[in-house]
């Protein structure tokens, strides 16, 4: 190794060490001036010797790379959102559900809920590889160039500390309050408009094209969740402590920012402590996250399509203010649900100007007894969506009259309906009400459904307003000459739109089924239905009993699907989509069998010949259904190494057959 290369590597190592001491361990050894001099020396050496360039060099933290378009990347591990709670009773209900499903004696981890921008960072052989935003939970934007500039995020992990070869670590990117105030002071000196709040500023900064500007903003990063092919520890708390040893900035247990709790009183003590103490932090939090500690128990509890069943967020009471209710208008969603929206006298709340707030449904309006002209209390539910929480009746105008909910759809004039047992009013004109038509088309083209490249929600509105589309099947009859006259539609974008629509014909049956927008049929349910019925004809002809007998399909979903396929207009839409060549049957992959047909299988523990995600795919490929928890209907529990005792005990109690990884693979070989 040349002397120059040795010098470069030594400087990189020293700079990384001092960076970690300053930003992560809060224990600097040298002055800022000395650090800057070392960095300048390294910059000079790298410029003079480009053959020794390294994208993870400390010199990359100053930025310089420009990203014109952020690439969309699919998450290997979906980034789910958490269910929210606002009271001790709701936390108690959460714990009761856990106890009911997996028994008592469960450990929980409490940690702060940072009010930042969710990020997933991938490392390969200890080196920073990629950083991706949450996006829609399934796909996000690659913001690696910008995240490299964050000094509290290591670009190279500490050697010989036992990190996995490849893994992702997740957390929040944010601006500290002190840094945010400093940025606003700089803007004030220039006579420019200040930023609204730290979270929005951090979010906007992360999507800037010039990483040099990002570096100057001074973003920070807090990490708290490790995802690898197999667990890096037996539980969440231990994995966070390991991540600290690797060089990450994680919640410090010595400052009570993460804690293992064993009962509701300990959890509430943690929540109440931080409700007051959060005011003394240099960063914003909006609540506390409570997670089941054991990874084995997390796996047993499983997840819904949107959120894990083993975690919940306790949200602190939001900032509240008073203003005047000027009007109530009604919005119609793609399912026909009619939502009342309060039109407010503009008021500043949590750093933004609020003009509208949700009133949810007729029952909420009646319970609040809210009337036009009332002075109302408004808060940001979850710090994002404003809502009216109460009415100051002492300031009510003398002529204010009780508010009457709309009787007809505000968009198409159809008489609204409210089914027994439901709180929401619906417009039944599903195929003739403009917002429902638009909503269904926009849902069809969305990422989790057909993900049509070159076609966005605004373009759908343009196409509809121009009379070019009235339903999703019309998309497949568009021609380039039809769309070219649209505003801001150039030759290239028109070609991309037509190409994207054509390529969407290759999307699998489950995506098409989800995209059709059947009420209550989310992405997970669509996959279950597609896997069980195999093709659209069997699904359309299925009786209510046959639908309910499908895995994890309840009465409400079955009834909705059954009604959908008895609607002549929807049947015509399906026939048109068929004629355009969309996929309406499950395409069996080569080598796939029906050896596990109808079998419900739970997998648990660490596997060696295949990963857990590969095992789940094998179950589905061979006709089986992978479920998260052991029940009386489970056929097999595939037990890997280090499987917790709870699942085995439950399987033995219910006479569920327990098999090894080898036995499972022998079942599907050949």
Kindly tell me if the per-residue pLDDT of 384 is higher than 70. Answer: no
**Two tokens, residue 545:** 């009993």
For domain 600-668, give the fold.
Rossmann fold (3.40.50)
Per the CB < 8 A criterion, the answer to whether 494 and 502 are in contact is no
For domain 84-315, give the fold.
D-amino Acid Aminotransferase; Chain A, domain 1 (3.30.470)
DSSP code of residue 56: T
Helix (H) or strand (E) holding 625: strand 625-626
Q: Which positions ≥6 away from 327 have C-beta within 8 Å? A: 342, 343, 372
84-315 and 318-428, same CATH topology: no
Report the distance separating Cα 647 and Cα 658, nearest Å: 10
Per the CB < 8 A criterion, the answer to whether 523 and 448 are in contact is yes
Torsions phi, psi for 259 (to 5 deg): -155, 140
- Single pTM value for the model: 0.63
Q: Which positions ≥6 away from 300 have C-beta within 8 Å? A: 101, 102, 602, 604, 628, 629, 630, 644, 646, 647
Provide the residue ranges of all domains of the chain, joining segments of one domain with +: 3-62, 84-315, 318-428, 434-506, 509-579, 600-668
DSSP code of residue 416: P
User: At CB < 8 A and 24+ separation, what contacts does 569-578 make?
Assistant: 569/430, 569/431, 570/516, 571/540, 573/471, 573/472, 573/473, 573/516, 574/516, 574/536, 574/540, 576/473, 576/476, 577/472, 577/473, 577/476, 577/512, 578/536
Q: Which positions ≥6 away from 94 have C-beta within 8 Å? A: 85, 290, 312
Per the CB < 8 A criterion, the answer to whether 165 and 125 are in contact is yes
Kindly tell me if the per-residue pLDDT of 383 is higher than 50. Answer: no
Q: pLDDT at position 174, please?
A: 93
18-29 pLDDT, tens digit each: 877 777 776 778
Q: pLDDT at position 72, please?
A: 83
82-118 pLDDT, tens digit each: 888 888 999 999 999 998 888 778 999 999 999 899 9
Pairing verdict, β 636-639 and 600-604? parallel
For domain 509-579, give the fold.
DNA polymerase; domain 1 (1.10.150)
**Two tokens, residue 82:** 């958490």
Report the distance separating Cα 267 and Cα 573, nearest Å: 52
User: At CB < 8 A and 24+ separation, what contacts does 451-455 make?
Assistant: 451/504, 451/507, 451/511, 452/500, 452/501, 452/503, 452/504, 453/496, 453/499, 453/500, 453/503, 454/493, 454/496, 454/497, 454/498, 454/499, 454/500, 454/501, 455/497, 455/500, 455/501
Report the distance separating Cα 427 and Cα 147, nearest Å: 46
Report the distance separating Cα 276 and Cα 269, nearest Å: 11
Q: pLDDT at position 543, please?
A: 93
Looking at domain 318-428, its CATH architecture is Beta Barrel (2.40)
Average pLDDT over every residue of 339-343? 94
Q: Which of 203, 166, 201 is nearest to 181 (CA)?
A: 201
Report the distance separating Cα 342 and Cα 363, nearest Å: 15
450-491 pLDDT, tens digit each: 989 888 888 999 999 999 999 999 999 999 999 898 888 888
**Two tokens, residue 461:** 């509105």
Confidence of residue 63 (pLDDT cuts 50, 70, 90): low
241-279 pLDDT, tens digit each: 999 999 999 999 999 999 999 999 999 999 999 998 998
Question: CA angle, corner 446, sides to 444 and 450, nearest 5?
Answer: 60
505 CB neighbour count, 10 Å cutoff: 14
**Two tokens, residue 562:** 């059954």
Looking at domain 3-62, its CATH architecture is Orthogonal Bundle (1.10)
Q: Which positions ≥6 away from 11 have C-beta within 8 Å? A: 38, 41, 42, 45
Strand partners, 312: 290
Please indicate whether residue 109 or residue 587 has the higher confidence score (pLDDT).
109
Per the CB < 8 A criterion, the answer to whether 367 and 471 are in contact is no
Which is catalytic among the residues 5, 88, 113, 245? 113
Per the CB < 8 A criterion, the answer to whether 130 and 122 are in contact is yes
- What CATH number has the domain spanning 434-506? 1.10.150.20
Kindly tell me if the per-residue pLDDT of 77 is higher than 90. Answer: no
Q: Is 113 a catalytic residue?
A: yes
* 67 CA to centre of own chain: 24
Confidence of residue 589 (pLDDT cuts 50, 70, 90): low
Widest CA span in the chain: 88
Question: CA angle, corner 411, sides to 410 and 416, nearest 5?
Answer: 55
593-629 pLDDT, tens digit each: 778 888 888 888 777 788 777 888 888 888 888 877 7
Q: pLDDT at position 68, please?
A: 67
DSSP string, 259-320: EEE-SHHHHHHHHHHHHHHGGGSSS-EEEEEEEESBHHHHHHH-B-SSSBTTEEEEEPPPPE
**Which whole-number Å values give the CA distances from 592 to 1, 509, 532, in the listed order?**
52, 17, 15
Q: What is the mean pLDDT of the chain?
A: 88
Query: SS3 of 463, please?
Result: helix
**Proportion of the chain above pLDDT 90, given as a percent:** 49
492-548 pLDDT, tens digit each: 888 999 999 999 999 999 999 999 999 889 888 898 899 889 999 999 999 999 998
Report the distance separating Cα 318 and Cα 312, nearest Å: 17
**Two tokens, residue 465:** 């307003």
Report the distance separating Cα 280 and Cα 111, nearest Å: 16
Question: CA angle, corner 184, sides to 180 and 185, nearest 5?
Answer: 115
Kindly tell me if the per-residue pLDDT of 237 is higher than 50. Answer: yes
**Which whole-number Å values give the CA distances from 134 to 116, 349, 419, in the listed order?**
12, 26, 36
Report the distance separating Cα 475 and Cα 468, nearest Å: 8
394-438 pLDDT, tens digit each: 999 999 999 999 999 999 999 999 988 788 999 999 888 999 999
Judged on CB neighbours under 10 Å (0-12, 13-18, 19+), 228 is middle
Please indicate whether residue 592 or residue 651 has the higher confidence score (pLDDT).
651
217-235 pLDDT, tens digit each: 999 999 999 988 778 898 9
Q: Which of 153, 174, 157 is nearest to 166 (CA)?
A: 157
Terminal C-alpha separation, the chain: 51
């Amino acid at each position: 190794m040349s002397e120059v290369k040795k010098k470069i590597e030594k400087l990189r190592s020293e700079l990384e060490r001092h960076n970690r001491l300053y930003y992560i361990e809060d224990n600097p050894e040298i002055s800022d001036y000395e650090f800057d001099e070392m960095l300048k020396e390294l910059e000079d050496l790298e410029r003079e010797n480009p053959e020794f360039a390294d994208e993870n060099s400390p010199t990359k933290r100053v930025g310089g790379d420009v990203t014109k378009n952020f690439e969309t990347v699919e998450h290997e591990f979906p980034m789910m959102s958490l269910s929210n709670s606002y009271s001790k009773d709701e936390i108690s209900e959460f714990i009761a559900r856990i106890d009911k499903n997996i028994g008592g004696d469960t450990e929980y981890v409490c940690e702060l809920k940072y009010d930042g921008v969710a990020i997933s960072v991938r490392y390969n052989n200890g080196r920073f590889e990629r950083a991706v935003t949450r996006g829609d939970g399934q796909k996000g934007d690659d913001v690696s160039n910008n995240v490299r500039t964050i000094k509290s995020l290591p670009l190279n992990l500490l050697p010989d500390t036992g990190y996995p070869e490849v893994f992702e670590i997740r957390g929040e990117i944010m601006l500290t309050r002190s840094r945010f105030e400093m940025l606003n002071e700089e803007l004030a000196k220039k006579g420019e408009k200040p930023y609204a709040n730290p979270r929005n500023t951090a979010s906007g900064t992360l999507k800037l094209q010039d990483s040099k500007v990002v570096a100057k903003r001074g973003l920070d990063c807090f990490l708290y969740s490790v995802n690898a092919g197999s667990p890096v520890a037996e539980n969440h708390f231990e994995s966070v402590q390991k991540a600290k040893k690797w060089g990450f900035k994680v919640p410090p247990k010595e400052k009570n920012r993460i804690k293992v709790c064993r009962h509701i009183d300990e959890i509430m003590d943690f929540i109440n402590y931080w409700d007051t103490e959060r005011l003394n932090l240099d960063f914003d939090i909006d609540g506390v996250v409570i997670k089941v500690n054991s990874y084995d128990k997390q796996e047993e509890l499983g997840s819904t399509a949107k959120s894990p069943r083993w975690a919940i967020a306790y949200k602190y009471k939001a900032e509240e203010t008073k203003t005047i209710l000027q009007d109530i208008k009604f919005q119609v969603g793609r399912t026909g649900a009619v939502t009342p929206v309060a039109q407010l006298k503009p008021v500043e709340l949590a750093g933004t100007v609020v003009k509208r707030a949700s009133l949810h449904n007729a029952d909420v309006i009646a319970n609040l007894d809210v009337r036009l002209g009332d002075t109302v209390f408004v808060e940001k539910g979850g710090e994002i969506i404003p809502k009216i929480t109460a009415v100051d009746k002492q300031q009510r105008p003398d002529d204010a009259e009780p508010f009457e909910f709309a009787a007809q759809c505000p968009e198409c004039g159809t008489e609204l309906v409210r089914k027994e047992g439901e709180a929401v009013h619906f417009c039944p004109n599903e195929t003739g009400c403009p917002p429902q038509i638009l909503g269904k088309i926009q849902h069809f083209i969305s990422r989790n459904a057909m993900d049509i490249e070159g076609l966005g929600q605004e373009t759908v509105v343009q196409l509809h307003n121009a009379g070019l589309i009235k339903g999703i099947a019309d998309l497949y009859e568009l021609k380039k000459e039809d769309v070219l006259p649209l505003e801001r539609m150039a030759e290239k974008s028109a070609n991309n739109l037509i190409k994207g629509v054509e390529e969407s014909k290759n999307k699998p049956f489950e995506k098409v089924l989800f995209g059709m927008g059947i009420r209550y049929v989310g992405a997970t349910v669509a996959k279950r239905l597609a896997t069980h019925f195999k093709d659209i004809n069997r699904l359309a002809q299925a009786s209510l009993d046959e639908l309910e007998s499908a895995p994890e399909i309840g009465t409400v979903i079955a009834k909705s699907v059954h009604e959908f396929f008895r609607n002549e207009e929807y049947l015509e839409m399906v026939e048109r989509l068929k004629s355009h060549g969309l996929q309406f049957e499950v395409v069996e992959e080569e080598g796939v069998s029906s050896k596990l047909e109808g079998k419900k299988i739970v997998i648990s523990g660490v596997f060696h010949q295949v990963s857990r995600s590969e095992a789940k795919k094998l179950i589905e490929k061979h006709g089986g259904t992978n479920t998260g928890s052991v029940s009386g209907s489970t056929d097999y529990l595939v037990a890997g190494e280090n499987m917790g005792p709870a699942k085995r005990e439950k399987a033995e109690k219910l006479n569920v057959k327990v098999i090894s990884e080898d036995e499972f693979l022998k079942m599907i070989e050949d």
